[in-house]
Structure 1
Amino acid sequence: MTKENEMLEPEKSTEKTEWQKRHEEFVARKATKKIEEDKLLTEKKAESLEEEKELSGEEISSEPFEKETQEEPLNEEDATEELEIESELEDIPNEEPEAGLSEITEVKNSSDKNSIDDKLLKQQLKADKKAKRLEQRLQTRPLRLAKVKVASITFVALITIIISGFILSPYSKKKIFNVTGLEHVDRNAILISTGIQKSDYISTVFFKKKSTEQAILAANPWVKQATISYRFPNVFDVTIIENRIIAYAQTESGYQPVLENGVRMPVISESQLPEHFLTVNLTDEKAVQSLVVQLAKLDEKLVANIQVVNPVTDAATKDLILLEVKDGHRIRVPLSQIDVKLPFYVKIAGTLTSPSIIDMEVGIFTTNETIEATMAQEKVEREEAKKKAEEEAKKSEKSAEDGDNSEEGTLENPEETTSQEALSSE
């Protein structure tokens, strides 16, 4: 009994029942066993800590083990343990059920003490179970660590063996290339420009993708963009984007496709020409390249509407060109300003009802052939009148010079004139 129970309960000189005696003996045995187990557990903990320290080279704190022994919420295992403890307590027989009412009264009076002892006993049994589980984990932990280390070493070794075997096998050099996006370029030409040999490893090609793409661009003027991607185990996809043909330069030997990067390709036959195309009649190579590069920046529909590009030789602007479009209009625009001024054509063409000339040389205005012819006639007449005026001015200057010369001759030879007069009088 505790001190509190001694104060509350009246002193009794009755002897303890057999059940109480056996219960006290049971509790004493459990306490002794607990002390021995705690001592053994402490020794095993110290041994396991030393083993783990040797394996990992690090100090392991014993706090986690102490925390595990603290009270935790009841789970299924704890509930089962509680039932086992209760069954153990119930299995203790009460050998004297026929004891008198006084003994029963004494048992009831000591029920509080027994209930407290039962709770302590249950907690002790739970602690014993947890200590056993902890001991088992501590015993198996070095083995688990060793298994993990062996498994990791084995995995790395297997990977190394597989990679080494693959590199030594002929499959490490067997490559498959899929080339897509080709229209004007030959597939073999693309593969040759890569510089990849049959003896090259797959890994070599994989790590040199960027340099291979640059090599394709440098070797093929048709190629605008080249992209290489890898697919396991040995497939390389080469995606090509070609430069567009902006125009065809007309030469004596035929038509040359001019790409959007300004490069002229070899001459092709008329049968290879498309149904609608842009013809460039400029002779200056730099002018053609500048024209194509600027047209490549404009809307494709606007460029497709242009049919012919001709130079304008009799203009004050040196780089003035004349564009003939499918709508029947003609556009005069400086080559250096074509990417700035030509987009305005779309708005201007919507207001025109008949074929016109759109002049973008200085500002932007529209005219037609009649006005152009009239202006040309007026220009010719102005030039003829200017020539006549210049000729008359020259004649008048010449006659004035002749008169001045005759007067000077008369003043310089007066004797000759008098002799001539005398002869005429005789």
Structure 2
Amino acid sequence: MTAEFVRPHVAQIGYRSGELFIEQVPVRTIAEKFGTPFYAYSASAVCQRIEMLRDALHPAEVQICYAMKANNNLSLLRILSGLGCGMDIVSGGELERTLAAGVPAQKIVFSGVGKSEQEIKAAVAAGVGQLNVESTEELELIAKVARNVGRKVPVVLRVNPDVDAATHPKITTGTRHNKFGIPYEAALTVYARASTLPGIDCLGLAVHIGSQITDILPFRKTFERVAELVGRIRAQGNTITRLDLGGGLGVSYDGRSGIDIVTYGAILRETLADCGCELTIEPGRFVVAEAGILVSEVLYNKVQGSEKFTIVDAGMNDLMRPALYDARHPIWPIAEPAAETLAEPCHIVGPVCESSDTFGKYEALPPLVSGDLLALGVAGAYCAVMSSSYNARPLVQEILVEGNRYCLARHRQTVAAMLKLEQAGEWIAA
């Protein structure tokens, strides 16, 4: 190729004999079986990420609670639960989905800035292991719910440490300009209040400063601020036994810029391993992003002025990140490009009637023709889970791959099923 072609950079996805494989399965074989577009996930890649995390954190004992907002496919949740992971959830729907996957309730952490009273009641009834409190009003509501059912509810206070994670503005969560958490300067007062409320078992603190963080320094600053606060809480005469350190571990979308997970583990141990608290982290993207691909078929090519557009059958409703965050995913033709092939720059775009329905301009792709198959890489996190039925386009199927076998992990939605949800009911007089 005359321009740089970014090849897959995880062991479970790559070219063999001129064809793209996921684990031991040719991607083309899956396409022929199920049609396009579809998501496919490597089970082995997910398991490997958990192993990498545990190795990096050792010898510190840290509970991994997967942030399921990254990808809530039941098959993946069952794999992660089987590996001993808990789950970090942010809605009542995620609570139901997690329980349906067989995750023990005591391994569930319920985060989120806007839990409704109904969601809190459901969490308390299920016996979740921890509710992360983000405001004084939420704290009082949880206390009321707990009193009404005669239970003690385990909570930790999510503190906003006012640390800039140096990531995309739309996924930064740890500065005073964000909606998340209790202000750092108010944490002592709120913690003291929580420790006196009937029905509240105030156990500790939580932080989460953002997503897709590749710089280690913001984590160090955050953990140091947490360690300082632990000392001040104990000096106040209150007990603290848990620290929830959130997620945010960044991955590589270009083969170069993932987080140094070994250094992350060293910083966690240096700052917090001796604080006398149970430690939890909540990775999401780091666990599943590089395990997934979105496979699409080329429909047409067209030229507008000096620009070439290649139109594929996957759209922004299937993968929202480029439109939402200006994200750029690597693209790999299913047929391996020959080294001597002349690159042909083109915009890869979808069929949705929006100019934002574009995956970007790619300089290093070979000439593409109708019927060619492409894989958008690093598509296991914040992709299928953010998809919609815009333009009345049904949600696409998801495939799980393990070794030399694969299975349908989510059926393709049908228009008929969508229409059933909109059958008019009986008129109700006001």
- Would you say same fold, with TM above 0.5? no
More helix by share: 1
TM-score where L is the length of structure 1: 0.18
Greater RCO, 1 or 2 (C-alpha within 8 Å, sep 6+)? 2
Larger Rg: 1
